[in-house]
Amino acid sequence: MDIFSWEFLTSLLTIIFIDLLLAGDNAIVIGLSARNLPKETQKKAIWLGTGGAIIIRIVATLLVVYLLKIPFLLAIGGVVLMWIAYKLLIQEEHHEEVKPGSSLWVAVRTIVIADAAMGLDNVIAVAGAAHGETLLVVLGLLISIPVVVWGSTLFVGLLNRFPWIVYIGSAVLAYTASKMVTHEPKLHGLFDDNPVLKYTFITVMVVIIIVGGLWTNSIKAHKAKVKAASAGSLAGSKRR
């Protein structure tokens, strides 16, 4: 892939966007891990922890890029990424499990371990968007350092202010996941010879994931509303 080609540029921008989209949790983990440190030490912990996490992620992603060359693993990775795109819309918070570090290296260790544990979705997404290009993986993830340190905090604020942005992000992930399936070498005969089927499949999968997320969220909101109403009625009856 020519580094000056439109395909390379769009793939790089996709990787950066995926990193930004999936960096929200990482920003929270970084904040939780470093919050008990003195202010002058917090920045050092954030940079060291994020740098170590990025190095591990580059190695892991390059390994996944290699593994995706094994027959049908690209398609399987696409299916996994579709699930990640869906879960992104309905994910629940589990950050209370992250303990703050009491010293610089404890905080750095916490950031690296937490990022490695939470970063599988990012690794699969970036590996799929890179289409086997090692340079894309390295460039995209190196750009992730300032993205995670600065941009993710801003992005979390935007998500809180404009929750609908997460649906755009999920659609990008779903699109990337669908392309991973259609790019599976073992399925080339099916999709490459039938472009209508290829683009119909991509469109349908994106729609299913977005609509599925909306439907699940509406059910959860209705249940929460019923639960709140029941709790209010119970509290009212007790006061009587």
Residue 48 parent element (H or E): helix 39-67
Instruction: Give residue-wise pLDDT tens across range 185-235.
Output: 888 788 888 889 999 999 999 999 999 999 998 998 888 888 877 776 666
Report how far apart, in Å, the C-alpha atoms of 187 and of each of 67, 129, 201, 202, 204 are: 17, 18, 13, 14, 18
Least confident span in 33-42, 61-70, 110-119, 219-228: 110-119
CB 118 within 8 A of CB 32: no
Q: Which of the four pLDDT bands, split at 50, 70 and 90, describes residue 176?
A: confident
Q: Which of the four pLDDT bands, split at 50, 70 and 90, describes residue 96?
A: very low
- Give the pLDDT mean for 32-37: 62
For a pLDDT cut of 70, what percent of the chain falls above it? 66
For a pLDDT cut of 90, what percent of the chain falls above it? 9
**Confidence (pLDDT) at 98:** 46
**Confidence (pLDDT) at 153:** 53
Could you say which DSSP state residue 155 is in? H
**What pTM, to 2 d.p., does this model score?**
0.62
Among candidate residues 53, 20, 46, the one with its CA nearest the CA of residue 166: 20
Q: Which residue has the higher pLDDT, 25 or 111?
A: 111
**Confidence (pLDDT) at 239:** 61
Biggest CA pair distance of the chain: 75
Residue 72 region, left (φ>0) first, then alpha (ψ -120 to 50), else beta? left
- Give the pLDDT mean for 148-154: 58
- Give the pLDDT mean for 5-10: 78
